[in-house]
A and B are shown apart, each in its own frame.
Chain A
């Protein structure tokens, strides 16, 4: 494996703002047009939780991805994004497609880096692929969670029935 401080990561770090913005824009464009504008424009994190969740977490994911450390966990940030997309109006494929969008952007925006560091670039793309697989796992967890919480809600709505059934005999 490669080590921290490679020229590729330094080069990408220099282009961070542009690349993360393009990644964000690409994701935001999957929403209807007026919403795309809203997600990009509204700065208040509580008024614009979708845009905020995307912006915050994409930046951290980008920083972690360009550092070729095996240990950097992407789970927390990725989960915040995937959990949101798992209940929005997307198919499963659409919901977890956003990592691939980064590959497309990198190849379009960083042509010099691609040819200068072919091996490191391939490593980076492999890490993005791994992130996509992790996104799919997290998507499935969110979907399974929906069924669990649905069951728990039904149980809470029958709380008294259950309680009287459990305790009824001992009180008679």
Chain B
């Protein structure tokens, strides 16, 4: 449990007795590999967030404001009044334990404070102490004083929850533990306790619209570069539309699609698809980021960062918005955007210009998921697909937490994959769809200093992939989330070597038969395709 070096004598004296600790004792050890570095002062300052300073979780002095305790308690009071859900979640839990073994961090690490009920109790115990009559009984009532130890424990565990909401699927009362984590993080932010892998992208987004701080000319270069690559692979010339006023559709993607691998191949996939169907769309260099790490900071920050989406749609005069393969973007778009940044009454009800399908589900937000859009194209025979071009891939699908549990998008990506791939295999039922296991790196935890914790949290997902890898020879894990695409390859490299990670639209574009294309011998990654001579069929 610690980094101390044991002497040979100590090593041979193995203690077989587990330690007995009281859960109310707030001791945590910040062991390398299991926590995230603190938010860098300049980024905290740029966002006008409280208490910018140089510090690290391993420091004994966290340089908190002198009245930090009052700030937290006032912040709690304000949120208890503002969010009925928060007060309800604090009061209603009966500790039935239904959620206890559902968290991937608990299942993969065995640390009981990663049981969702216990993680919530870290906050609830303070709530009881200061906001309920029973709290006067102290530990007898499961209440405890707020002190620095408790605050450090909050930091450790609330930045060890990926807000994936698997536990909430099993809660008979519908308690959404992700919302408890969100409030926990908001409170920590009030005294300047945040992590840099969240705060720096937030700060960059606030400045340039995307996580890496890429400026408009860099955005344009990347898109043009991708178009050149596509021309080399397929012989098809594409001019990517950027900031095109009067386009019918604004297309929002996660920024990783244009700077990281394997995301990039999904970007190539979208561009090829849109070229083939002649879609009137535009990228935006300003709204060039679907990801919104405000979701991992505070409600206020979600709103601040997400404002660009509707602003840009208005400025460009589009009719509706299409969104790419991004994970938590869809929680923001589906569950917060309408009330936070809407109403989008200047936009029209989304209608596919190719099939005439009205996306009534997106009537309020005016934003459609690309998998809904593409599945509809296939269903209406608008695409020519040669699935044999993906015969070198044995594919499974990881339901990314937010599209699955926040958006309810289960069948559309599978429909596309089954049409585009001859070899598709599902992982076990209790690890997919609404029960999907998180990649272990969402909610801003996908940073390399936190790698060991990510490997623990991702173990249940990897364990299910290993099963289909061993049983069916699965060699590609497909998904529709940028954080997944960044972190699942690392997870696979550790737990299931031999499995690559890719996007749904990458696989679709491999199989897409394009008018005027040159003979395809490689897929979008440059990997050799199997020459099966299979017939091309209308999907």
Which residues of A come within 8 Å of B, CB atoms? 26, 29-36, 38-39, 42, 44-50, 52-53, 83-84, 87-91, 93, 97, 100-101, 142, 145-146, 148-150, 152-154, 156-161, 163-164, 171
- Do A88 and B109 have beta carbons less than 8 Å apart? yes
Q: Digit string of B459-496 for contact with A (CB within 8 Å is 1, else 0)?
A: 11001100100000000000000000011011001110
- Do B494 and A93 have beta carbons less than 8 Å apart? no
Determine the chain A residues whose CB is within 8 A of the CB of B495 once the complex forms.
Answer: 83
Q: B430 touches which one: A44, A88, A154 (CB < 8 A)?
A: A44
- Do A47 and B107 have beta carbons less than 8 Å apart? yes
Q: A35 touches which one: B19, B112, B487, B493 (CB < 8 A)?
A: B112
Q: Digit string of B204-237 for contact with A (CB within 8 Å is 1, else 0)?
A: 0000000000000000011001001000000000
- Interface size range of chain B in the complex: 35 or more
Q: B431 touches which one: A33, A38, A46, A83 (CB < 8 A)?
A: A46
B128 to nearest A CB, angstroms?
Answer: 21
Complex Cα spacing A100 to B13, Å: 11
- Any A CB within 8 A of the CB of B413: no
Complex Cα spacing A97 to B16, Å: 10
- Do A50 and B108 have beta carbons less than 8 Å apart? yes
Q: A89-B111, A91-B1, A93-B11 are in contact. List 19 more A-B contacts (CB 8 A).
A: A26-B16, A35-B110, A38-B101, A46-B430, A48-B101, A49-B108, A50-B108, A53-B463, A87-B33, A87-B494, A89-B31, A91-B3, A91-B6, A146-B33, A146-B451, A146-B494, A152-B493, A153-B489, A161-B259
- Do A89 and B16 have beta carbons less than 8 Å apart? no
- Do A30 and B18 have beta carbons less than 8 Å apart? yes
- Do B110 and A156 have beta carbons less than 8 Å apart? no
- Any A CB within 8 A of the CB of B20: yes
Determine the chain A residues whose CB is within 8 A of the CB of B258 once the complex forms.
Answer: 160
Determine the chain A residues whose CB is within 8 A of the CB of B452 once the complex forms.
Answer: 87, 146
- Sort A-B residue pairs by CB-CB distance and give the 5 closest, nearest first: A159-B261, A49-B463, A35-B110, A87-B455, A31-B110
Q: B448 touches which one: A44, A145, A154, A171 (CB < 8 A)?
A: A154
Determine the chain B residues whose CB is within 8 A of the CB of A33 once the complex forms.
Answer: 18, 20
- Interface residues of chain B: helix, strand, loop or mixed (majority): helix
Determine the chain B residues whose CB is within 8 A of the CB of A150 once the complex forms.
Answer: 448, 451, 490
Determine the chain A residues whose CB is within 8 A of the CB of B456 once the complex forms.
Answer: 87-88
- Any A CB within 8 A of the CB of B264: yes
Determine the chain B residues whose CB is within 8 A of the CB of A153 once the complex forms.
Answer: 448, 486-487, 489-490
Q: A152 touches which one: B109, B110, B225, B490 (CB < 8 A)?
A: B490
Residue of chain B at shortest CB distance from A90: B1
- Any A CB within 8 A of the CB of B60: no
Complex Cα spacing A52 to B431, Å: 15
Determine the chain A residues whose CB is within 8 A of the CB of B460 once the complex forms.
Answer: 46-47, 49
B157 to nearest A CB, angstroms?
Answer: 13
A127 to nearest B CB, angstroms?
Answer: 19
- Any A CB within 8 A of the CB of B315: no
- Do B494 and A34 have beta carbons less than 8 Å apart? no
B303 to nearest A CB, angstroms?
Answer: 28
B334 to nearest A CB, angstroms?
Answer: 27
B447 to nearest A CB, angstroms?
Answer: 10
Complex Cα spacing A157 to B428, Å: 30
